[in-house]
Amino acid sequence: MATLPTTNLTLADWAKRRDPDGSMADIANILSQSNEILDDGVFKQANGPTSHRVTVATGLPEVYWRQVNQGIYESHGTTAQIDEGIGMLESRSQVDVALANLEDDARALRLSEARMRLEAMNQEMATTMFYGNTAANPEKFMGIAPRYSSLSAGNKQNIFSAGGTGNDLTSVYLVGWSDETCHFIFPKGSGAGLEQKDLGEQSVDVFNAAGAYTGKMQALVDWFCWKMGLVVKDWRYAARICNLKVADLSGLSNTQRVDSSANFATQLVHRMAEAIYRIPNLGMCKPAFYMNRTVHAALSRMAMEKQSSVLNIEQGLSSFGTARQYLSFMGIPIRRCDAILNTEAQVS
């Protein structure tokens, strides 16, 4: 399997470069445990505070065969510049001072109170990684799905339909991560990942369950902020297998029958193999498949039905050095991401 060059940094790598108080590394570890795309995604500092300007090639220069004493024409390539936005996701946590004073370790209490908030931010960020659409929500960043959303678009060769129709559809995404292909960004001059600040003791407004104001209390306040964007510098290094019908996956029927060669054009394993060969150079990126647990279960069952050797259980280490097992397809890791919906719109 292709390995990521050492110059490409993950969220965990950036966390290890923070100040040695441990807070950032703890948070990064929590997030990666429930959002597996963070184990693979490369993080790069943007060249601007609120966006990242990317220069991409749009046309190659002309080249010529010539004979002795024969001239050639001058030529040049063409480029375009694209500004990729950075979204800012925030939240605040507050713990009653009276409650904190009852605990031996107030920091642990505050972290336990913040965990649900962190999980909410993690789920929202994971959803945006796939479905963020700046046309509808300009405060977010553009995710993967809107970039691969038409079978007639310029990048249509990297979009594979699995033949499903209706409103119970899902997708599998293949991304080849590196500085020069696909990567996450964070603002210039800031740190990668989720930032946390202890704002100390403050007087805060308190509201009851009905939303009525009940007065003020003294609380220990924490602020959380996650600034991130996604850059697809070379669209050839990502692919989407769309229109996977959930009912067919669950029953291994119709478009996803494994006992019929007539379904090769829609079967998931065949579409995944085709997607791999759309990536120009696996050696210059770190590829990974992303799917939800419905598809993950169906893929495992397909492998058992066919007694296939292309799906394997691999042993490895997480970004934080802990032992882990993961499934791979043709040597490429398979990650579960529950943010991927079973109710996607049909791609046509």
Residue type, 163: G
CA distances from 105 to 100, 108, 112, 192 (A): 8, 5, 11, 28
pLDDT of residue 28: 52
pLDDT of residue 1: 42
Residue 164 covered by a domain: yes
Going residue by residue through the chain (348 aa), what tens digit of pLDDT does each one get?
444 444 555 655 545 545 545 444 455 555 555 678 887 889 999 998 989 999 887 788 899 999 998 999 998 888 888 899 999 999 988 888 888 888 777 777 777 777 778 888 888 999 999 999 999 999 999 999 999 999 999 999 999 999 999 999 999 999 999 999 999 999 988 877 788 888 989 999 988 888 898 999 998 898 989 999 999 999 999 999 999 999 999 999 999 988 767 678 899 999 999 999 999 999 999 999 999 999 999 988 887 776 566 776 665 544 444 445 668 888 899 999 989 999 999 999
Residue 1 covered by a domain: no
Residue 66 covered by a domain: no
Residue 150 covered by a domain: yes
Q: Label residues 8-41 b or e (16+ Cβ within 10 Å = b).
A: bbbbbebbeebeeeebbbebbbbbbeebbbbbbb
pLDDT of residue 191: 77
How many CB atoms are closer than 10 A to CB 214?
10
User: Quick one: how far is CA 227 from the chain centroid?
Assistant: 14
The torsion region of residue 304 among left (phi > 0), alpha (psi -120 to 50) and beta comes to alpha
Q: Which two tokens stand for residue 37?
A: 């795309």
Do you know the residue count of the chain?
Answer: 348
Which DSSP symbol is given to 236? G
Total structural domains within the chain: 1
Structural domain boundaries, residue 133:
11-58+76-336
Q: Which two tokens stand for residue 31?
A: 């997030």
CA distances from 31 to 35, 130, 319 (A): 6, 16, 12
Residue 68 covered by a domain: no
Residue 211 covered by a domain: yes
pLDDT of residue 6: 42
Residue 157 covered by a domain: yes
Residue 6 covered by a domain: no
pTM for the complete prediction? 0.82
pLDDT of residue 5: 42
